Chains A and B, each alone.
Chain A
Amino acid sequence: MKSDRRLVRKGSLEKLFEVLKGDNRQVYAPFSRNGRTSYRKIEKFSDIATDYIQTTQSSKEVSFPRTEKILDYSKNADGMSVKGIEPDQIPQIMLWGIRPCDAMGIGELSSIFNWDYKDEIYNNRLSKVTVLGFSCSKTDEYCFCTSVGGNPGNTEGSDILFTQLGGNGDYLAEILTEKGEKVIALSPELFEAAGDIEKEKFLADVPVKFSHKEIYGKLEKFFDSEEWVGQSLRCIGCGACAYVCPTCACFDIQDDSHGKLGSRVRCWDSCGFSLFTLHTSGHNPRNVQSARWRQRIMHKFSYMPERLSVYGCTGCGRCSRACPADMNILEHLTSIKEAAL
């Protein structure tokens, strides 16, 4: 579908927010606390954070919550009765203010949830989400979307992409999907006709650091490299990188049992944890941090491109920003690119 380009006045964003809320949609948008920015349900337009290059957490929590009930069960005289989650329990959600890299990440995450098994709960949830992307006008040294197929004004994954025209200017809105059009329909008067606008000149400049071939091609033969050990020595094995990542999809299933009642819950998990691959026997195929670190890079830059034809990375740089040990993924990828085989 060819995108429809409209102009939204700066002052109209708040009106749009109110319209969306008025239409019984929950609006999730960036919110700042303790110096960190993450998505949460917003009731007041003024609560939406604007001063960030990238949110601390990605927006994946909206379609893939960190803790998600899958079913309820109860024991009774006849055995067990199970109640799943009905799709209509899920509200319509507006995902407001996500960066193009995150929007692109939705596709990458979906590819995992729809590989061999189609994850109904995930898909149900995602079907309720409308993505209102905002292009990037600022960048920092952690960003590398342009190296993994994205760019600061990338429309991929957004239903509407807003690009602010100058520091304090109005917005160019690119209506990209049917879901986007439905938003316009709620309040067409806020979306004026846009003239000929050269969007690119308002975007941040993110230099390309490596090519697909330089990394993907290299990794095929890199499995046994000593480089992994050197890179991962300072990794402390927490799950911060996976949990802020827009595409990390690993989860764990837990039963929360209280006598005859209980529920089954899925919770995020991370390949960085040492117990992630621990077998009951005591054997751990990834028993050192270097093997776990290698898994993280290989999965995102080798296995996913190979099997799903997408990267497992959007170049958002969050993992590097969040890492308590200053593991810098871009730096590590660059050094893989430069390493001798």
Chain B
Amino acid sequence: MTLGFYPGCSLKGSSREYAESVLAVAKAFDITIEEIKDWNCCGATAAHNMNRELSFALPARILSLAEKQGLTEVVVPCAACYSRLTVTQYELAKDKELKDRISEVNGMEYKGSVTILNIIQMLDKYITPKLEGKVVKPFDHKVACYYGCLLVRPHEILKFDREEDPQSMDEVMLKAGATPIDWAFKTECCGAGLSISRTPSVGKLSGMIVGDAKDRGAEAIIVACPMCHSNLDMRRKEINKYLGEKVDIPVLYITQALGLAVGLDRKELGLNRHFVKVTV
């Protein structure tokens, strides 16, 4: 079983541990991960606000490369990359002219034949069905599953989970032995767009998230997006400043939590790379 893989920039940089845990979990379940060769930026930064054509050309090139490489399914762990790739696929499927134009711009035929999976879809399809009996160390903690924005919105395009009150991460975590809590901030904004420019705002927005998780007794926050992770983890100082107390609930990628449950090595899962020490 071979699965295409688009890491995007974050997974090669600030969230290497996400990539590490994805690969580790895949390996544990005998899935061969094949990275798209010569991949480029997905355009999640500013491209889609600046230039519509460019915002489609970038993801389309990635997908064309995957097609050329003979991949039929590609897992895209970063929620922002997932969003850009899926939106592009959706728009190009709707508009043949645009599709032809983009193929021309890229000098590369875009067919639209690749199935894009976000990390939850990948887990649901290939991992959780085989989970039974493999959970050697149940992740026996109260967890707050935090979805953020790009994983579930816009629903019209992604058609994934319930946009206002998603459940899919909770279900995976339940199978990993955790107790997902019912909380109010599953899809509230973490402030990722302002992470650099207005860090105190991030402190407030992410602070409300971490605060609610804490108030409801969460022992870990589970995420599936590098931006969510960096805001909730790396900006903990600002968060705690906003909250006026020291909150040290760790933030884990869902693949890390799952990896722990199936007994993978903490280091292999990159747990040592977090700002907030992972104590669970």
A and B touch in the complex (CB under 8 A): no
Q: Which residues of B come within 8 Å of A, CB atoms?
A: none
Q: Which residues of A come within 8 Å of B, CB atoms?
A: none
